[in-house]
Structure 1
């Protein structure tokens, strides 16, 4: 019950904060690694990002242009077994010229293969299904299957997520697409991890290529812990004309 009250309190704080922001990238800018809740354990991550410099022109009539949009997405999670975790997201955003909005909901099911305590290599998968508002996507229902592969050593961490996304329902033709997220980080003597994360779109699976016409973004990131709160902070630079030019992001893991 105490854990549940903590989750509710954190959510109320988020909702109050977004309504007072004067201020888009994806709702979740993260490379999935080997974290998973223990059975019957609750979790809460707060994903935020702000497009400091990006396109101000909507992709289609009624769409939300990404430039100067602040997104905040609480991600709730619950450990089902040592290998399986259930999660849910609430997507919210605020643009300078608009009111704060709830943009949709998503659920996910994560699997992480069992590994020995001294084993560095890990692998798993994450399936996500969600419904979003028209201003976010012309097709309301979409899904994504994310692979999770990597190595975590005493100093170095390397991980990659090959992702396939597809439309479940909607009026607009939308072929399945592929993108690849990766991370490399180094842990310093002060338990501070510094590294790079890259988020790369490859386009439709049946016609991949032309990377200069797809979003390609690299983030400089730091990961650290403050009194039990795990933080991931990053500044991203878009490398193509299809990318947001500058994006700031933060992921806050709320301890229970």
Structure 2
């Protein structure tokens, strides 16, 4: 029986709602971390269909390439390289350095926690100019016999004073095991605005994805289709995404 925390997350996913823009990092970070001496290469690609009148191309494609290296038990460092492909814009959008830690835990059941942070300078079709920023992504999760729940109450802060407030950008995932290699579930990505003065529900950027994850011989595959949960103020109507992770010894 799914415990109360799972039911609460499912309720939140079903009742929150709007999406201004699909972020580069369409990943809910869990307890996956490269083992010492192991290299992980991950690519997350998305294609967004924007709303008429948004001032953006009708199709916006984004790719985030990552390379991570395990430096110790539970610790990994990496690089992120974002890229945009759309009408009139095909370019690398910056570079970020990341660090991840996941505390020792039972990998089959129970609670787990960690944190993933990155610092760098990136741009986007959805932003006026490139910004140097620090992202901090706490990881809190629970794994049951056939399901897992993960929450990332993430914060983004500009590095230059006066460039803007710290923003609260939560994400969450609920997944149920469909087979030994497959999971199906839902992912939520939101931007609630300034941490000190969060936006009201109707003004938040929120997108809900139906997702499928598969553990393959080469690593992991993640496929998803997302829908803006509100129609007011958002730039994107729907988003397709695909993530592929390769594990190199």
Q: TM-score, normalised by structure 1?
A: 0.81
Q: CA deviation at 1:164?
A: 1.1
Quote the offset at 1:208 in angstroms. 1.1
**Structure 1 unaligned regions, length at least 5:** 1-23, 59-64
**Helix, strand or coil at the partner of 1:127:** strand
1:68 — aligned with what? 59
Change (3 A) 1:153 1:43: same
Q: Are positions 1:41 and 2:38 aligned together?
A: yes
Change (3 A) 1:105 1:54: farther
SS in 2 for 1:205: coil
Residue 121 of structure 1: how far off its partner (Å): 1.1
What is residue 30 of structure 1 aligned with on the other side?
A: 27
SS of aligned partner of 1:203: coil
Matched, 1:183 2:180: no
Q: Do the aligned partners of residues 114 and 225 (structure 1) sit closer, same or farther apart at CA in structure 2, a change above 3 Å counting?
A: closer
The unaligned stretches of length 5 or more in structure 2 are 1-20
The 1:159–1:70 alpha-carbon spacing in structure 2 relative to 1, beyond 3 Å, is: same
Number of equivalent positions: 225
Deviations 1:62-116 (A, max 9, x none): xxx3741111111100001102110111111111x21420111111111111113
User: For the residues of structure 2 that align with 1:107 and 1:28, how far apart are their CA atoms?
Assistant: 14
Please give the alpha-carbon distance, in whole angstroms, between the structure 2 residues aligned to 1:55 and 1:45.
32
TM-score (norm 2): 0.83
Answer whether contact 2:109 2:145 (CA < 8 A) is retained: no
Query: What SS class does the counterpart of residue 202 from structure 2 fall into?
Result: helix
Query: What residue is the counterpart of 1:13 in the other structure?
Result: none
Q: Contact 1:28 / 1:48 at 8 angstroms: preserved in 2? A: no
Q: CA deviation at 1:55?
A: 6.1
Per the alignment, residue 6 of structure 2 pairs with none
| CA pair 214-55 structure 1, distance change in 2 beyond 3 A | farther
Aligned position for 1:216: 206
Change (3 A) 1:186 1:107: same
1:249 equivalent in alignment to 2:245? no
After the TM superposition, which of the residue ranges 178-187 and 189-198 deviates more from structure 2?
A: 189-198
Report what 1:20 is aligned to.
none
Q: Deviations over 1:41-78 (max 9, x none)?
A: 111011100102346635xxxxxx37411111111000
Greater relative CO, 1 or 2 (CA 8 Å, sep 6+): 2
1:45-64 → structure 2 map (5 Å cutoff): 45-54=42-51, 57-58=54-55
Matched residue, 2:190: 200
Q: Which moved more, 1:31-40 or 1:49-58?
A: 49-58
